[in-house]
């Protein structure tokens, strides 16, 4: 009736809340089928939406009735009622959670506590005389505590803090997990904590919150995996909502999981398999990036020392300039990759965005310089005409650095305003949007061009003019180019594609991680230590 525009919302909403309460707790068992569950949740959604649209505050009596309704809904058996209901309407769990969040924001300021079987609610009004760090404790099973640091977040005369713990809600929410969630085979803690902070009529969206879930340690517990603190992000999965770890910190203690959040939202804990493996991969990546940086610095030192011995003509100059710039660009890319693993991985973190952008620029630059290396080898073996040295160096600088900068700048200009520049939970390009193609596209193109160049060089070496002997040094150059340009980067991108397939064994992840992060070591070995000019 309200949804159709009939009735006076200020009068009708409290009456409908009372009727809904009586309906759900009636001894006549009006809720007998899963469809009844769906009907009640949809009614709650309509009530909460109309209350928000008409800005109707809810008094203690109305909130008490709603808490009773929530608790009663969460009492119904999961297998008999909720699973069939979810099979019919998969979003009713997230709809219920969103309605709870909206209703909590409409509660009139006042110090009220409501305790039901499946719902506990605590409300505190802090005035200018009582501003301090906030703390509350819920005697649930397991116990939960909520604290807020630096509660004086505005000059408002009062701050209202509302916390609700809903038992069993985690079991009926969609199993949607954002990309920031590590591991696999997730199970959600049944308790969900909903937090609301208001200053006057304004709802606070950012705060320093600490939620501690005291774990129930049972001798025969089947809970396995690693705990992750998560919050429910209503913007994920095209508005359906999902669990995210973005901006969350997890601290594991013997008998508790301490969660630190920046968002004011609904919180819980995931138990996930595979988190340890991902942590190992991250450690391998960090160690590999560090070794790669050291190896590339060693390459630069070697290239600089040997400069006066190997640079004897224009071709050797071009070759040495390319080698130095490959090492410089790869080293800078690894520095920013290592930085990205040590900072907060969020689209709102400007340093994270900068790290993603600079990785894009310098990884592309290293590939463009490798393309120039193959062109120089081709020019040396195939062409005989002379080029103007200054012009060549300017063209090399343009291709090596300006082209990658243009590609990266265009992509960040397009994707960043849409919030799709980086993958959630990382400081690198979004794999589900167009941003990643601005990296993989040039990479694949350069790999193809290098292969054509190498084929042309091999053909030239195998078919020398009648008056010339085959060039053994040229063959060595081709072999080295083939090892560096094709083998390393070709294998990396083949593995990169394979790891996108669900059925690929996790061993490929380790191989790919090692190859990706140890590229500097590979360049040191093939580009420096095995070079006859260096060893000689």
Task: Please give the angle made by the CA atoms of 324, 426 and 339, to the nearest 5 degrees.
Answer: 45
Percentage of the chain with pLDDT > 70? 74
CB 88 within 8 A of CB 42: no
Burial class (CB within 10 angstroms; exposed 0-12, middle 13-18, buried 19+) of 5? exposed
pLDDT at residue 510 in the model: 60
In the sheet where 256-263 sits, what is the strand order? Answer: 134-138, 144-149, 206-214, 256-263, 249-253
Q: Which residue in 380, 405, 400 sits closest to 324, CA to CA? A: 400
The pLDDT value recorded for residue 405 is 94
Q: What is the mean pLDDT of the chain?
A: 79
Q: What is the DSSP string of 181-235?
A: S-SEEEEE-S-EEEEEEEETTEEP-EEEEEEEEE----TT----SEEEEEEEETT
The answer to whether residue 165 scores a pLDDT higher than 50 is: yes
Residue 345 pLDDT greater than 50, yes or no: yes
What mean pLDDT comes out for the span 432-448? 72
Task: Compute how many other C-beta atoms are within 10 angstroms of the C-beta atom of residue 371.
Answer: 22
Q: Which domains does the chain have, with CATH numbers?
A: 1-107 (1.25.40.610), 277-535 (1.20.1070.10)
Give pLDDT, residue 184. Answer: 62
Looking at 83-97, 190-204, 341-355, 379-393, which range is the least confident one? Answer: 379-393
Dist CA 97 CA 45 (whole Å)? 10
The DSSP H or E segment spanning 127 is: strand 119-127
- Say if residue 274's pLDDT is above 60: no
Q: Which of 25-29, 159-163, 314-318, 345-349 has the lowest mean pLDDT?
A: 345-349
**What burial letters (b/e) apply to 451-462, b meaning 16+ CB within 10 Å?**
eebbeebbeebe
pLDDT digit string, tens, across residues 94-109:
999 999 999 998 887 6
Those residues with Cβ within 8 angstroms of residue 467's Cβ, 6 or more apart along the chain or in another chain:
none
Q: What is the pLDDT of residue 74?
A: 94
- Rounded to whole angstroms, how far apart are CA atoms 271 and 485? 42
How far apart, in whole angstroms, are the C-alpha atoms of residue 245 and residue 229?
6
| Closest to 35 (Cα-Cα) out of 104, 92, 74, 75 | 92
Q: Which of 54-58, 147-151, 170-174 has the lowest mean pLDDT?
A: 147-151
Does the pLDDT at position 310 exceed 90?
no
- Tell me the mean pLDDT in the region 144-162: 74
Token pair recorded at residue 138: 């819920």
Q: 287: which residues sit within 8 A by CB, 6+ positions away?
A: 517
CA pair distance 266, 250, nearest whole angstrom: 16
Least confident of 13-17, 250-254, 514-518: 514-518
Q: 311 or 27: which carries more pLDDT confidence?
A: 311
Q: What is the mean pLDDT of residues 3-13?
A: 66
Kindly tell me the sign of the dihedral angle through the C-alpha atoms of 241, 244, 247, 253: positive
Is residue 220 over pLDDT 50? no
Host H or E run for residue 242: strand 242-244
Q: Identify the three-state secondary structure at position 99.
A: helix
What pLDDT is recorded for position 236? 86
- pLDDT recorded at residue 489: 56
> What is d(CA 173, CA 86) in angstroms, rounded to the nearest whole number?
9
Calpha distance 106→99 (Å, rounded): 11
Kindly tell me if the per-residue pLDDT of 217 is higher than 50.
no
Q: How far apart are the first and last CA of the chain?
A: 90
Q: Which H helix or E strand runs over 36?
A: helix 34-53
CA distance 265 to 104: 11
Say if residue 145's pLDDT is above 90. Answer: yes
Q: What percent of the chain has pLDDT over 90?
A: 23
Determine the average pLDDT of the residues in 432-447.
Answer: 72
- pLDDT-derived band at 377, boundaries 50, 70, 90: confident
Cα distances (Å, whole numbers) of residue 13 to 49, 55, 91, 106, 257: 11, 12, 24, 12, 39
Alpha-carbon separation of residue 481 from 250, 257, 313, 380 (angstroms)? 46, 52, 20, 13
In this prediction, residue 275 carries a pLDDT of: 52
Q: Please state the rounded mean pLDDT for residues 383-400.
A: 80
Token pair of 419, please? 């919030």
pLDDT in the model for residue 230: 92
pLDDT score for 497: 46
Distances (CA, A) of 128 to 10, 136, 153, 209, 431: 31, 19, 11, 20, 48
């Amino acid at each position: 009736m309200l949804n159709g525009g009939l009735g006076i919302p200020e009068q009708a909403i409290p009456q409908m809340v009372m009727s809904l309460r009586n309906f759900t707790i009636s001894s006549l068992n009006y809720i007998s089928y899963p469809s009844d569950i769906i009907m009640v949740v949809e009614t709650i959604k309509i009530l909460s939406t109309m209350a928000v649209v008409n800005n109707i505050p809810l008094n203690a009596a109305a909130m008490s009735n709603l808490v009773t309704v929530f608790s009663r809904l969460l009492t119904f058996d999961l297998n008999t009622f909720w699973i069939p209901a979810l099979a019919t309407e998969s979003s009713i769990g997230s709809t219920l959670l969103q309605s709870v969040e909206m209703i909590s924001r409409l509660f009139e300021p006042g110090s009220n506590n409501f305790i039901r079987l499946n719902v506990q609610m605590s409300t505190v009004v802090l005035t200018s005389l009582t501003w301090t760090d906030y703390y509350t404790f819920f005697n649930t099973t397991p116990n939960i505590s909520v604290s807020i640091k630096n509660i004086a977040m505005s000059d408002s005369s009062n701050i209202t803090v509302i916390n609700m713990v809903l038992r069993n809600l985690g079991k009926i929410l969609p199993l949607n997990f954002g990309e920031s969630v590590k591991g696999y085979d997730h199970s959600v803690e049944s308790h969900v904590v909903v937090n609301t902070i208001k200053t006057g009529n304004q709802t606070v969206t950012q705060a320093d919150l600490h939620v501690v879930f005291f774990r129930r340690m049972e001798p025969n517990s089947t809970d396995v995996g690693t705990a992750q603190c998560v919050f429910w992000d209503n913007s994920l999965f095209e508005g359906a909502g999902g669990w995210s770890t973005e901006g969350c910190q997890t601290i594991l203690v013997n008998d508790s999981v301490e969660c630190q959040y920046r968002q004011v939202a609904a919180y819980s804990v995931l138990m996930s398999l595979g988190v340890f493996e991902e942590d190992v991969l991250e450690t391998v990546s960090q160690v590999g990036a560090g070794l790669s940086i050291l190896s590339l610095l060693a390459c630069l030192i070697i290239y600089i020392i040997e400069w006066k011995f190997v640079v004897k003509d224009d071709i050797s100059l071009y070759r040495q300039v390319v080698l130095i710039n490959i090492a410089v660009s790869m080293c800078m890319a690894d520095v920013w990759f290592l930085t990205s693993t040590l900072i907060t991985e969020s689209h709102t973190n400007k340093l994270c965005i900068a790290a993603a952008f600079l990785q894009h620029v310098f990884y592309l630059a290293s590939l463009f310089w490798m393309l120039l290396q193959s062109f120089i080898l081709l020019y040396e073996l195939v062409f005989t005409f002379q080029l103007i040295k200054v012009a060549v160096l300017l063209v090399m600088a343009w291709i090596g650095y300006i082209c990658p900068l243009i590609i990266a700048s265009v992509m960040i200009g397009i994707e960043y305003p849409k919030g799709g520049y980086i993958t959630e939970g990382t400081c690198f390009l979004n794999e589900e949007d167009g941003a990643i193609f601005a990296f993989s596209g040039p990479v694949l193109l350069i790999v193809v061009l290098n292969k054509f160049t190498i084929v042309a060089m091999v053909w030239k070496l195998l078919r020398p003019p009648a008056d010339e002997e085959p060039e053994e040094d040229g063959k060595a150059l081709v072999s080295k180019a083939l090892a560096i340009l094709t083998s390393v980067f070709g294998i990396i991108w083949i593995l990169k594609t394979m790891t996108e397939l669900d059925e690929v064994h996790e061993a490929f992840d380790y191989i790919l991680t090692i190859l990706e992060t140890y590229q500097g070591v590979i360049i040191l070995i093939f580009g420096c230590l095995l070079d006859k000019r260096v060893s000689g």
